[in-house]
Chain A
């Protein structure tokens, strides 16, 4: 297997396992229905703090659906129904005391296709903080914008053109802008749905580096179709198949000796 060469060293992986990171989000027996059609058939999963969790699996197996449950983006879909428990820091996100809008400020999302707002680069970033009233005056906002852009590794490229439209950036820059935008509201978890699928290899490498850096401060869940990418950026990997979560383990474990033969088949490229 070629992917093996791209792992963190065994020592790193061991260190991670020992560190015993705390659990950030939990999913218990999550079932999702689109109308009469069941898309998820009871998912159990734990997402650990300050780790990158990769969701892999063949197309249509429900990865995006699961991801969208974590910040209740499925609420915007007309006929979608979610059952089971999803908790953030031990609190049921579908519970009464949590509002979907507040939840999404804590669990941010980056989409498959870069979707900058048709506003200036500055306004794209300041939009989130502004609606949440995070910055009280201008200097503070400037600082948030700069810091977010720096986190997303975009600051040096755009610092002289903050007033230009965000839609004028290249695809890779736009995606980093979207990451910066998500970072700007200081979420605890960032969900990424195939963030690199519309990008070229160099932009992809950029974003992968970025994800690795973001891990320090955020918990990240990333959906990807790219095995190497999952191996490179994640510590945990969950394999989905036909609406079920087949297995979830340390990334190294999944890629070197998967327990389920469906996982084996998928990562060796026999199907998917």
Chain B
């Protein structure tokens, strides 16, 4: 309640600050705006920033720390016999207080001191909210008044506002970067926990994958083997099949679109092809599992091969179709980026269109095409849904695309589905796999981007 009021107050004060700053700036020069260092709206923004930002920072800080501060105050008010206990009991006590404060009755009868503490918690909380409202409003008002008082014709309001914008932009990009770093670190720590149980050598070079661990000592049949090679080969197999579909088809359609299709057709064709990229992977998964896999099996059987109902071929093929727009769209872009002058040069020598494409356009676009393919590969490696649905979860070590295989991502998904204990090697192995996957796709992407960059430098 108080929070809503405060936010409204802050918004109003900020808007008021903008208006006041603007009119004040105009007033300082008696309306002769050219005498101002910055245009009035920058003065307005300057005042608005001073009105809004400190109060918002206070608000953010308070919301983040309020519960903790109040709890500390409450605990400090309790007699020693409650607080001088081991940390676990202390956190139990805190939970009790919180529950009582929120009106949830604990199962056992609480001590009167604890009840009192809960009430105190509520009181302090309410007090804190009021205090925040008052302090926040005052802070905004003070900032507004102070900043407005500082306005003068030659104040560099524009530079200050731009610096503030700059800082805001930096903070935003830091958020993205820090999130990434956080994800990587958590992945790394869990993976390290896994590698203290299972040696990295066994993990990276073992030939047998069967992550079921015995829960009880007397349980049989679940040995727990963490050799990830079958997963790597399965991933490789499916990726190879997918690329065998996506690269030729994608590249050819890119060549057709950029070199042969007339512009009118192209404006139709390209978006349609890109729709393929917009289909959710689960839908591709249906298609793979319900249409492709039976089809592959029937065809295979009629030819006399033994095909399992879930096969790497079916999954890889559908994945390839999914990746076609990736390859074609990116390749189309790089082919279009090849300067017309090069084509003219080739035509001017009496080369035909196909000679020009083969000998001049494609070689010139090659680095970009390679980069596109690498991005597509990293996409294929990271794809999960289609594999889960169409290739199965059997970790077979095979090079036969008609067998069922599984991939790194599909295993991660299946390892973490459902209730898990987070200290069993079975669950932790997901992080080991995740780390490997991350490193591989990261390398691919970095290399691909490097190649693209080098290519760009050449023609700009």
A82 at the interface (CB under 8 A from B): no
Q: Are A131 and B355 in contact (CB under 8 A)?
A: yes
Which of A78, A106, A117, A185 interacts with B345 by CB under 8 Å? A117
A108 at the interface (CB under 8 A from B): yes
Interface string of A100-129 (1 = CB under 8 A from B): 011111101111010111110000000110
Which of B345, B347, B364, B458 interacts with A178 by CB under 8 Å? B345
Residues of A within 8 A of B360 (CB): 117, 127
A174-205 CB contacts (< 8 Å) to partner B = 178, 181-182, 185
B348 at the interface (CB under 8 A from A): yes
Which of A108, A118, A119, A167 interacts with B349 by CB under 8 Å? A108
A132 at the interface (CB under 8 A from B): yes
Residues of B within 8 A of A156 (CB): none
B315-365 CB contacts (< 8 Å) to partner A = 339, 341-352, 355, 359-360, 363-364
Q: Are B344 and A131 in contact (CB under 8 A)?
A: no
Contacts A113-B341, A167-B458; A118 near B363 (Cβ below 8 A) = yes
Residues of A within 8 A of B344 (CB): 73, 76, 109, 111, 115
Distance of B452 from chain A, by nearest CB (Å): 15
Tally B residues with Cβ within 8 Å of A: 21
B355-382 CB contacts (< 8 Å) to partner A = 355, 359-360, 363-364
Contacts A105-B349, A105-B350, A185-B350; A118 near B339 (Cβ below 8 A) = no
Q: Are B350 and A117 in contact (CB under 8 A)?
A: no
Q: Are B349 and A115 in contact (CB under 8 A)?
A: no
B35-54 CB contacts (< 8 Å) to partner A = none
Q: Are B349 and A182 in contact (CB under 8 A)?
A: yes
Q: Are A119 and B363 in contact (CB under 8 A)?
A: yes
A146 at the interface (CB under 8 A from B): no
Expressed in whole angstroms, the Cα–Cα distance for A76 and B458 within the complex equals 25
Contacts A101-B352, A131-B355; A73 near B347 (Cβ below 8 A) = yes
Contacts A115-B342, A118-B364; A109 near B348 (Cβ below 8 A) = yes
Distance of A169 from chain B, by nearest CB (Å): 14
Q: Are B351 and A131 in contact (CB under 8 A)?
A: yes
B149 at the interface (CB under 8 A from A): no
Residues of A within 8 A of B458 (CB): 118, 167
A235 at the interface (CB under 8 A from B): no
Q: Are B350 and A111 in contact (CB under 8 A)?
A: no
Contacts A111-B341, A115-B339, A115-B342; A104 near B363 (Cβ below 8 A) = no
Closest to B348 in A: A109
Q: Are A131 and B341 in contact (CB under 8 A)?
A: no
Closest to B355 in A: A131
Interface string of B232-266 (1 = CB under 8 A from A): 00000000000000000000000000000011000
Residues of B within 8 A of A110 (CB): 348
Q: Are B263 and A104 in contact (CB under 8 A)?
A: no
Q: Are A115 and B350 in contact (CB under 8 A)?
A: no
Q: Are A111 and B364 in contact (CB under 8 A)?
A: no
Closest to A167 in B: B458
Distance of B262 from chain A, by nearest CB (Å): 8
Residues of B within 8 A of A76 (CB): 343-344, 347
Residues of B within 8 A of A65 (CB): none
Expressed in whole angstroms, the Cα–Cα distance for A153 and B286 within the complex equals 66
Residues of B within 8 A of A106 (CB): 350
Expressed in whole angstroms, the Cα–Cα distance for A76 and B343 within the complex equals 10
A263 at the interface (CB under 8 A from B): no
Q: Are B350 and A128 in contact (CB under 8 A)?
A: yes
Contacts A78-B263, A118-B363, A118-B458; A185 near B341 (Cβ below 8 A) = no
A173 at the interface (CB under 8 A from B): no
Expressed in whole angstroms, the Cα–Cα distance for A78 and B261 within the complex equals 12
Residues of B within 8 A of A185 (CB): 349-350
Residues of B within 8 A of A115 (CB): 339, 341-342, 344-345
Expressed in whole angstroms, the Cα–Cα distance for A113 and B84 within the complex equals 84
Closest to A116 in B: B345
Q: Are A117 and B342 in contact (CB under 8 A)?
A: yes
Contacts A76-B344, A115-B341, A167-B458; A131 near B349 (Cβ below 8 A) = yes
A219 at the interface (CB under 8 A from B): no
Residues of A within 8 A of B263 (CB): 78
Q: Are B348 and A101 in contact (CB under 8 A)?
A: no
A48 at the interface (CB under 8 A from B): no
Residues of A within 8 A of B339 (CB): 115
A71 at the interface (CB under 8 A from B): yes
A203-257 CB contacts (< 8 Å) to partner B = none
Q: Are B348 and A111 in contact (CB under 8 A)?
A: yes
Q: Are B341 and A101 in contact (CB under 8 A)?
A: no
Expressed in whole angstroms, the Cα–Cα distance for A128 and B360 within the complex equals 11
Contacts A117-B364, A127-B359; A104 near B349 (Cβ below 8 A) = yes
Distance of B354 from chain A, by nearest CB (Å): 10
Expressed in whole angstroms, the Cα–Cα distance for A119 and B351 within the complex equals 16
Residues of A within 8 A of B359 (CB): 117, 127, 131
Residues of B within 8 A of A111 (CB): 341, 344-345, 348
Closest to A76 in B: B347
Expressed in whole angstroms, the Cα–Cα distance for A88 and B352 within the complex equals 20
Residues of B within 8 A of A178 (CB): 345
Contacts A117-B364, A118-B364; A181 near B349 (Cβ below 8 A) = yes
Q: Are A127 and B349 in contact (CB under 8 A)?
A: yes
Q: Are B364 and A104 in contact (CB under 8 A)?
A: no
Distance of B163 from chain A, by nearest CB (Å): 43
Expressed in whole angstroms, the Cα–Cα distance for A127 and B348 within the complex equals 12
Binding site for A on B (CB under 8 A): 262-263, 339, 341-352, 355, 359-360, 363-364, 458
Could you list 5 further interchain pairs (A-B, Cβ under 8 angstroms) beyond the known A111-B345, A128-B351, A185-B349? A115-B345, A117-B364, A127-B359, A167-B458, A182-B348
21 interchain pairs, CB-CB under 8 A: A76-B343, A101-B351, A102-B350, A103-B350, A104-B347, A104-B349, A106-B350, A110-B348, A111-B348, A115-B342, A115-B345, A117-B360, A118-B342, A118-B363, A118-B458, A127-B351, A128-B350, A131-B359, A132-B350, A181-B349, A182-B348
